[in-house]
Amino acid sequence: MATRTLKCPKCKTHITVEGEPGEKVDLTCPSCKKKGFFTFPKDIQKFELDYGKSNRVIEVNNLSKAYGAFTAIENLTFHVKKGEVFGFLGPNGAGKTTTIKAILGLIRPSRGLVKINGFDIVHQIKQAKQHVGYLPERVAFYDNLTALQNMYFYAELKNVSKEQCMPLIEEFGLKDHANKRVGKFSKGMIQRLGMARAVLGNPQILILDEPTVGLDPRGVLDIREKIKEVNKKGVSVFISSHILSEIQEVCNRVGIINKGIIVAMDSVSSLSQQLQIKPKLSIEITNISEKIIDAVKKVKDVDKINRNGSILEIFCSAEARAKVVVVIEKAGGIVVNLQTKDPSLEEIFMKFTER
């Protein structure tokens, strides 16, 4: 049994909740009667028992940050494993950037502990940040310097070879702009240069705050592939983003924060199972008819059916898929094409943040 202290987002009353790993607990605030829920991470007991293990490159325990009477984040506890890509999601104002600033020691937490590679970010900040690359939400450079001059400057700060700079500029599609002043760069170009700066020196940990903001589709794809590439080399990546499709493409686990509180944490597939979000079966059928649709509706575990011309979109359990195909053929339908789409991160995100 695990215990967490939460705060009501409406009246700020503290609520103590108990549950098992993976359990979803319905809550009612004793003061204002606002209803909500909290889902315990499946690995919470393992984290509490093995907190000091070396496979945690980022450790956050009961982290809180208040600005006067306003509490931006409350009792956040999670970790990032060595070699994984961890997605940190939440609506605007949920506390994502505040959490990142606390992890990096850019703001001092009101309570709690943060460690990077085993070093306390408050008392051992130099050692903690030694092997971290960071892309902030708002990327800034010296406008009067060229892209290459800016990269040289940060190479000196990081004490790494300047020979890395030009290859990184080329890698992120800025070869023709290396000797142009950054003050004339578009937002997308600045974002690309920010990613080049983040990976300068081959850091063991990358912390990326909205890495694809302002990029065109080509740029988004480049950043996604770069994240996969560095991760294959053993780099641990922490990504904060609201572009859910990008998170789903690259992340091993996700944490969802809402109103300063982590409401869910697990793999995308495990979270969809917790919420019982069923996959979508898309079937193209010749000579589709009401008889076929009625037959499909009677199949157990079919939740919803949408018709789009000759295509039926059927939301059903994995076990019901074969039965659906059988009843379609028995009702006189001929299946031309069949595709299955698993629950998306967007659906999961909306479910966990809807209250």
- Which helix (H) or strand (E) segment is 88 a member of? strand 85-89
pTM of the model: 0.69
What b-and-e string marks burial along 24-39, b requiring 16 or more CB atoms within 10 Å of the CB?
Answer: eeeeebeeeeeebebb
- Positions of the chain with pLDDT under 50: 1, 47-52
pLDDT of res. 252: 86
pLDDT at 149: 97
* pLDDT reported for residue 222: 85
For residue 309, give every residue at least 6 positions away whose Cβ sits within 8 Å of its Cβ, in sequence order, or none: none
pLDDT on residue 49:
46
Among residues 294, 335, 343, the alpha carbon closest in space to that of 318 is found at 343
> In terms of residues, how long is the chain?
355
Sign of CA dihedral 173, 175, 178, 184: negative
The angle formed by the CA atoms of residues 141, 146 and 147, to the nearest 5 degrees, is 65
Nearest by Cα to 45 from 14, 6, 19:
19
pLDDT at residue number 280: 79
Q: Sign (positive/negative) of CA torsion 176, 182, 187, 191?
A: positive
> Which residue in the block uniquely carries the two structure tokens 């004793």?
30
Fold assignment, 278-347: Alpha-Beta Plaits (3.30.70)
Which helix (H) or strand (E) segment holds residue 263: the answer is: strand 261-266
**One-letter amino acid identity for 147?**
A
Q: Which two tokens stand for residue 308?
A: 């789009």
The confidence score (pLDDT) of residue 16 equals 67
Looking at residue 224, what is its pLDDT? 87
Domain boundaries, the chain: 2-131+204-273, 278-347
Contact by Cβ (8 Å): 211, 166: no
Class of the domain covering 2-131+204-273: alpha beta
